[in-house]
Amino acid sequence: MGKLTTHVLDTANGRPGADIKIELFALNGDTRRAIKTIHTNHDGRADAPLLEGAEFETGEYELVFHAGDYFAAIGVKVPEPRFVDRVVLRFGIADAGAHYHVPLLVSPWAYSTYRGS
C-alpha cells in the first residue's frame, strides 16, 4: 500500500526541524485543494503519513513548508523579506502503490529535496 511521508532537517543548526507547519495540497491544473495541515514533531517528522490508503492517489501535489517562521521562532536573525520563507515543493505521484518520501533540507539561505525511501 502506498503512502506519502516527509521530514525536515535544519542543516544550518544540524538538527531536526521541529514544529514546522506543513500544508499539503492536491493540484488539478490551476486549482489547489487543501488536504491537510500538520506540524512536525520533535524529530522533524510527521507523526503519521500525510496520505495513505484510499486517500493516496496518483496525481500532482504541493507541500508548503513554513521554514521562515521556524527560523524566526528559534531566534535566527535574517533580513526582511526573508530569503527562504515558505518552501513550495510540487511533485507528482505516478504509482499509488509506492512509498513517496519527500524530505526537506533547509537553512535560512538554501534548501534541497529528493525522493527518499
Torsion of the alpha carbons at 53, 3, 39 and 110, rounded to the nearest 10: -160
Q: Which three cell numbers stand for residue 43?
A: 524529530
Q: Is 7 annotated as a binding residue?
A: yes
Q: Is 45 annotated as a binding residue?
A: yes
Q: Is 42 annotated as a binding residue?
A: no
Residue stretches of the annotated binding site:
7, 45, 114
Residue stretches of the annotated binding site for substrate:
7, 45, 114
